[in-house]
Amino acid sequence: MDNDLTQFMDIIKNKKSVKPPAYEWQDLALRVINEIGAPAFKRSAVFKICKNYPKVVVEQALNDTKELCKTGAAWKYFFKVIENRQAGKGGPTFKNDGPAAA
């Protein structure tokens, strides 16, 4: 009986608590990293994208990547899609460059 109790106490002591992400964009970044298979050296770039862009834009880029990149490195394609959105080629930009010309 003591042995069972000791084993149970060991399990409780060694239990690791996993904290949830503090911000919603961090959770989104982790999801993007998992879905596109981003390597370790690109994780910080994914976090920066998720922090700086609206969630809708990141999710659209992720969906475009999943639809269009069937073979090869999906993470490279994801960064190209985001880059095109930033340059204004592939969708709306979110910079305020002044009033629109009529």
Cα distances (Å, whole numbers) of residue 90 to 13, 57, 60, 64, 80: 52, 11, 11, 11, 10
Cα distances (Å, whole numbers) of residue 101 to 84, 97, 98: 22, 11, 9
Q: Which residue has the tokens 């592939």?
A: 90
- CA 67 from centre of chain: 17
pLDDT of residue 70: 82
| Mean pLDDT in order along the chain per 10 residues (102 residues) | 67 73 89 92 94 92 90 89 77 43 40
pLDDT of residue 29: 94
Say if pTM beats, i.e. exceeds, 0.85.
no
